[in-house]
Amino acid sequence: MNTIPALARVVLKELYRRKDFYVLFILTALVTLLMALANLLNDNKIAGYVKEVCLLLIWISTLAMAVGTTARQIPAECENRTIFPLLAKPVTRAHVVVGKFLGCWLACGIALACFYLFLGVISSSYEHELRALNYLEAFWMHWMFLAVAIAMVLFGSVIFAASSSNATICLVIIIGVFLVGGHLDQVAIGRPEPYRTGISLIYYVLPHLDWFDLRNLLVVQTGLVDMADCALASLYAAAYAAFFLFAAWLAFRRKALNT
């Protein structure tokens, strides 16, 4: 019962020993300085632009952290031969997959919470308005986006031989789906058959990662997203994350560890 939380704690402790969290603190300080500069300029347009840059920095840094951290989990266990004593205990390969996912997801959640907390505090200092629910919604949807990304990279870590190639390929796929996936339905319009059907099928099969981007909610200070929509998007992300985790377990179960 405690196997999966124990594996997740191991991942968190490993990340504390590495320099991932030092990067977090440096980037958080950079975000704080940028927002403080916007406050000194006392210009709403400049402040909004700086906030947009800060949010983009948060998205880039957390995605890089999620992909880099997840890509090395299982390959590192296999290369260091620590996977054998790990599986010699009452630990199944399904426990390893879910435990690694949970550890990486929680680590990214902690980093993400620090980013949004600092950003919210600095923003409210010059906006003279605390919009905690807006930041909470943006944080939650961003975290659900990372759940899909982490599960996808974990699946890739079982398929690809090297963690570097897995990280590169998954990063390209995630960014491509994020930027292009939501526009494929428009691309399909006017295309001859069978291209139109094929593009439309890809549009409905791919995970719509752009649905989780609520940066505009914070930059232009619009209202809250309906809670029902957030709940449906969360279920959508959970379904795709579960699909990739199941695929990772199937591939890992058949993977020979002595090669």
Q: pLDDT tier at 148 (50, 70, 90 boundaries)?
A: very high
Taken in order 96, 162, 166, 55, the sign of the CA dihedral is positive
Can you give the pLDDT at residue 55? 84
Other beta carbons within 10 angstroms of residue 2's beta carbon come to 7
Share above pLDDT 90 across residues of the chain, in percent, rounded to a whole number? 17
Closest CA to 58 of 142, 128, 131: 142
Q: pLDDT tier at 121 (50, 70, 90 boundaries)?
A: confident
Burial of 215 (0-12, 13-18, 19+ CB in 10 A): middle
Residue 28 in this model has a pLDDT that exceeds 90: no
What mean pLDDT comes out for the span 201-213?
Answer: 84
Q: pLDDT tier at 234 (50, 70, 90 boundaries)?
A: very high
Residue 142 in this model has a pLDDT that exceeds 90: yes
Question: What's the mean per-residue pLDDT of the chain?
Answer: 81
What mean pLDDT comes out for the span 79-90?
Answer: 78
pLDDT in tens, 34-51: 666 655 556 556 666 777
